[in-house]
Homo-oligomer: A and B are copies of this chain.
Amino acid sequence: MKVLDQLDGNKRMAIINAALQEFTEKGFDKASTNHIVKTAGIGKGTLFYYFHNKQDLFDSLIEYCIGVIQDDFLAHIDFTEPDFIERMRQVALLKLEVQHEQPYMFYFFAQMLIHEEPLPEGAKAQIDTMQERNYAALYNNVDLTMFRDDLDHDKAMELIRWSIEGYQQQLLERIKGESIASLDFATLTTEFETYLNTLKTAFYQ
């Protein structure tokens, strides 16, 4: 049983989010356990009661993130959808959902891989298979006949992916700070829809 599972709901998420944020923004070395406990609203002792030390906390976070991405993200992707843009819509919405509750999840992961922080035992293998699954989720078994045949399929798919990621990032910056409740989800979904339709018109035949 992972240590993070012992902690009940609120406090658990508080620690996770505080630690994710701190590690993401500062990296392992510069991350301050003092800041983490302050942000999480717990005493210093509590952190080191549940986690052996800073490294242990970091390793637990990695494990936790792998779990979330596997179970809440990759596991929910419908690999049978042959329409590339529809699949991207699915992936984007799923990502947005995860990102809404765990804002630092994906960013944390990206940072760790970029800065090549030393990973805990066995995590490397898990991450590798995750990345393969992610690639498969995006590109495998796509119906290429839907694309205009005067276009290079692969380049088209890359361009579409970059477009959607760009839209996503712009969206995240726009809604940053706003509370979950105040978000007009329906309107946002419609807006996203119009962009996807534009893409379909441009790239499909």
Contact = CB atoms under 8 A, between A and B. Distances in A.
A175 to B, nearest CB: 15
A167 B165 CA distance: 11
A198 interface: yes
A177 to B, nearest CB: 12
Interface in A121-160: 148, 150-152, 155-156, 158-159
**Chain A interface mostly helix, strand, loop or mixed?**
helix
A201 interface: yes
Nearest to A26: B30
A163 interface: yes
Given A151-B201, A159-B163, A159-B166, 5 more contacts: A150-B201, A152-B194, A152-B198, A162-B162, A163-B163
14 contacts: A26-B26, A30-B30, A150-B201, A152-B194, A152-B198, A155-B194, A158-B167, A158-B195, A159-B166, A159-B167, A162-B162, A162-B167, A163-B163, A202-B202
